[in-house]
Structure 1
């Protein structure tokens, strides 16, 4: 009987451990709809923590390669963003239609995206935690979003960012990729138009 009880206890531990680990991982990787957070990454990132929560890797040689981000957009079209926009500065914005800070920054993102397109800058959204595209598409219409968003409900694309890099860790988060396809900056908070411009201008100026 003692062996049976031990086996039952062992099975019980296995059943409870998996969801606990999954929940902890989800909470660590993506803080739900926060307006800020703690900068992540290790010493190898060599980033400078900027004022206002925008972290920047100034030395181009110290920047890490960005992952391939591809999949279906909210409109159902296939998009390999890192390949299509290769050689351009890319701004990846993590957002959800259910997230108030995402709504607060959306119109400013659209304005800056239009303003910087002629300067070789492309914006791409990473829509996450929306169970289906319908509310996210309504969000885009309401906020006149001019750029595509990859539908990433489960957050799989976000997890492609390498461990220890300036990876997105909150919703909203914004990651800036330089023309060489490397991670140059990150914000884990809502960004204003001025903050977007201040982060983009040095990257646009790089030759």
Structure 2
């Protein structure tokens, strides 16, 4: 199942908010919830494996940008507070069919890996109301918090040429030093997600 596109009715409903983002959104490499363009040429060290996951060697990783704000539950969250843990950032929307498909996989693996020092954090985007995201979280028993990012501003903070999110869903893995280590574009199964995380869990 490929990454999904924004429904027309949602895109229309959000036109005002998107215009407010102005030039910043114009610079976004993420297309309308389909697969985006290449992340750029500045960081050429990442390699895509046979499993579709792009990884960066430890020596070549770049720091994750400031990913902080208010969650879907109206709490404050800053991923810098999770330094020392492997952080999984999953970009999703309640309206996105591939996100719905992968939600049980993420919930299961998040519960399995919590004791191993892994923290999952969602980035909910293109939902105009928090209630839409909260309903999704409740329905799919999502055990971790999600930042509420209706206009995609948090995704714009990833540096050009890095393993930035380019579709919905996208998944970014951050190592224990707070550096971007891996990326997958599109929905992930349980085994794919485990394989993406295990090398980072094992790193010393």
Give the TM interval when normalised to the shorter protein.
Answer: 0.7 to 0.9
Question: Per-residue displacement from partner, 1:80-99 (whole Å, max 9, x unpaired)?
Answer: 12x22111000000000010
Q: Which position in structure 2 is the counterpart of 1:147?
A: 144
Q: Are 1:156 and 2:180 counterparts?
A: no
C-alpha deviations, 1:87-120, integer Å up to 9, x for none? 1000000000010000000010000000000000
Tell me the residue number matched to 2:55: 56
Deviation string 1:138-182 (CA, Å, 9 cap, x unpaired) is 000110000000000011111111111000010000000000110
- The gaps in structure 2 that reach 5 residues or longer are 1-18
Q: Which residue of 2 aligns with 1:84?
A: 81
Change (3 A) 1:43 1:80: closer
User: Contact 2:42/2:162 (CA < 8 Å) preserved in 1?
Assistant: no
Higher helix proportion, which one? 1
Whether contact under 8 Å (1:94, 1:128) holds in the other structure is yes
RMSD: 2.0
**Residues matched between the structures, number:** 184
Report the Cα offset of residue 50 of structure 1.
1.5
TM-score (ref. length: structure 1): 0.83
CA contact (8 A) 2:30 2:37 kept: no
Matched, 1:101 2:98: yes
Q: Which residue is 1:16 aligned to?
A: none
